[in-house]
Amino acid sequence: MSDIEGLGDFFVYVFFVYPVTGYLLKPGRFRKATGLGLAIAFLIAVASVKTGLEFQEKGPNYYSLLGVDRYSSEGDIKKAYKSRALELHPDKNPSPEAADMFDKVRTAFDVLSNVDDRESWERFGPERIQGRAVVEDSQVFFEMLIFHAAWALLAFVLTLGRSNGEARGAVYVGQLGLFLVETYLTLQKGAELPFWMPGFVAKYEVVQVMPEAQAGAGAWPEPGPQRCARTHLLHSSSSWESRR
């Protein structure tokens, strides 16, 4: 995320999210339960919009490129690839974007047809595959721990005062939940997403979008250019490998 985008998020939080939630939670304006419910609904709506925009910006993942999902078998993936390859082959498709899409579909097939690469991509995203970054699970866990500890400290600073005690507790509970979910999806091999989540969504996308949705909900502004500690570690490792 660029500095300009980060500044934009900050202004949205300061001049839109914070005033609206403050209005809804102001004592005497609504009943306490009603005001809290409205504020939560508002934050969920903001987070949903931001999350949708983030997914749109990232573009289709390997599942979407092939038209398969995380439940697809090796045979399903091969069948889908043959169909997409015939459709996008530059010799048969006059579209100027056909060659680029053909290469992307080929890359998606190469990854999803390899059991180890597919598992690695599901857990860590394309950075792990493209850069062939060698990162131990212990390193990833340590980075995640530092990331969430920093957020916990920031949450404490932003909720100083007796009147913010309940808010601080809610933030800590949410932060702990995010940490546990991220740890499970990232480090537990074979971890599964809930059945109600769309089949084309990969585990790494859920992990990446959690802090983005949290920031989008106005919990606090996003911290710098790398919002996901694990992504930062993979980028750093990939860069180091490329310089060797």
Per-residue pLDDT tens over the stretch 46-103 = 777 776 776 677 778 999 999 999 999 999 999 999 999 999 998 889 998 999 999 9
Answer whether residue 216 shows pLDDT above 80: no
Query: What whole-number distance in Å separates Cα of residue 54 and Cα of residue 151?
Result: 21
More confident residue, 109 or 150: 109
Q: What is the pLDDT of residue 197?
A: 86
Residue corresponding to tokens 């979008």? 209
Residues facing 27 on adjacent strands = 30
So where are the chain's domains? 3-59+134-243, 62-113
Q: Under CATH, domain 62-113 is a member of which superfamily?
A: DnaJ domain (1.10.287.110)
Nearest alpha carbon to residue 143 among 29, 7, 234 = 234
* Segment 133-178, tens digit of pLDDT: 556 777 778 877 887 777 777 767 766 666 566 666 766 777 787 7
Answer whether residue 191 shows pLDDT above 90: no
Q: What is the pLDDT of residue 164?
A: 60
Torsion angle, alpha carbons of 91, 93, 98, 104, to 10: -70
Residue 39: phi and psi, rounded to 5, are -65, -45
Answer whether residue 118 shows pLDDT above 80: yes
More confident residue, 210 or 66: 66
Q: Considering only 30-39, 112-121, 152-161, which range has the smallest mean pLDDT?
A: 152-161
